[in-house]
Amino acid sequence: MLFEADEVVLERAALAAAPPLLGVAAATGTLTWQDAGYAVVRVLFATDRAESPAAGPAARFGSDRAGLSYGTCDVSIPRDHRMGRMESPSIWRFQFREDPAKHVVLLTVEVEERDAFFGALSHRVAAAESPQAFLFVHGYKVTFEDAARRAAQLSYDLGFRGVPMFYSWPSRGELASYTTDENTVEWAQSNLERFLEDLLERVDRLHLIAHSMGNRPLARALVALLARRPELRARLREIVLTAPDIDAEVFRRDLAPALGSPARPATLYASSEDVALAASRRIHGAPRAGDSGRGLVVADGIETVDATAVDTSLLGHSYFGEARSVVSDLFYLMGRGLRARDRFGLREVQSAEGSHWVFDR
């Protein structure tokens, strides 16, 4: 019996073991193996960051606000990539430059006009091995570069056979800019709502994944959009809210009822070991929806998964994309459409508020 996402691990191992001359013949959807020993994942994006056209890929979009831009990115995944890692140069290994054969690197950024982007979107999805897409919305303290790298890493580790996409709002990418990012993410909500509407008009099967502060614009934009366009709900697949930095009571009262239903619940990952959300709780004076302590969100239409048992000592706030057990759970959720009761490694816990799920230790 295969445990966790071993199906994906075995598939990647087989591809990685293939002879170097495999080259582009190993292309599978948005994934292409290169002779140089790394894969390239093509990721689509929308962003309301200001563009610097003359800059290299890493600095192409900064932290200033702007109108919406669209395009594609190519991101490298090294042949010996480990699930959950975003390999980067390390001075401890005497690595001072990015190497696509060793690191997850943003290689290219190609900007497209709006009409061209959406005109090609339906074709891109239809041409994928599986005609579906996911949209990732990053959280606080994230650059455009790291948003692209994370989206590609998630797509690769999940064995996603559709079209990966990300939305990058103009986070400052700095630890000290929390309140600035809070203001900016509120400003970005209407742009994200417009992009979601454009996507759902063209994509029949769309998964949504948000992390941390990125849950704020995604959840609120989606609630507003579905209130205006309820017919678009049928095109949504999994809605995944990871470590949401949202007031727990506000989420339970205003957002949860509109995001999911008992027939098609949304999924919320929370942890009481999340240091970043503990800091947010102190700043705001109220529990966060991604904190599984005394403010654990249990609500109809939401499958809450407590990830406290996951070892986050080195992973911290980004356990959703870095902990193998959580990535594996996402694989079975998004790749197989399995509900929490059917996924390996989860145990149901009953409480006065209802049931939620925990990772077995």
Domains and CATH numbers, the chain: 6-359 (3.40.50.1820)
Residue 291 in this model has a pLDDT that exceeds 80: yes
* Cβ contacts of 269 within 8 Å, gap of 6 or more: 240, 241, 242, 243, 290, 305, 307, 319, 320, 326
Taking the CA of residue 138 as centre, how many other CA atoms within 13 Å lie in the half-sphere pointing to its CB?
28
Question: Which whole-number Å values give the CA distances from 188 to 178, 223, 321, 358, in the listed order?
Answer: 15, 15, 23, 33
What pLDDT, on the 0 to 100 scale, is given for residue 319? 74
Confidence of residue 6 (pLDDT cuts 50, 70, 90): low
Averaged pLDDT for residues 184-205: 98
Give the whole-number percent of the chain exceeding pLDDT 70. Answer: 88
What pLDDT, on the 0 to 100 scale, is given for residue 337? 94
Neighbours of 168 (CB within 10 A): 25
Distance of CA 344 to the CA centre of its chain: 21
What pLDDT, on the 0 to 100 scale, is given for residue 95? 60
Give the angle subtended at the CA of 82 by the CAs of 134 and 17, to the nearest 5°.
100
Token pair for residue 159? 């064995």
pTM for the full model?
0.90
Residue 112 in this model has a pLDDT that exceeds 70: yes
Residue 29 in this model has a pLDDT that exceeds 70: no
What pLDDT, on the 0 to 100 scale, is given for residue 14? 44
Confidence of residue 351 (pLDDT cuts 50, 70, 90): confident
Whole-angstrom distance, CA of residue 102 vs CA of residue 282? 39
Nearest to 281 by CA among 255, 327, 244: 244
Averaged pLDDT for residues 258-276: 92
Token pair for residue 28? 């599978």
Query: Tokens 């930095």 map to which residue?
Result: 245
Which segment, 4-13, 185-194, 302-311, is predicted with the most confidence on average? Answer: 185-194
> Which of 12-26, 203-217, 220-234, 298-312 is the least confident region?
12-26
Q: What is the largest CA-CA distance in the chain?
A: 59
The mean pLDDT value of the chain amounts to 89
Residue 104 in this model has a pLDDT that exceeds 80: yes
> Which of 94-103, 198-207, 296-305 is the least confident region?
94-103
Give the whole-number percent of the chain exceeding pLDDT 90. Answer: 74
Strand partners, 46: 70, 167
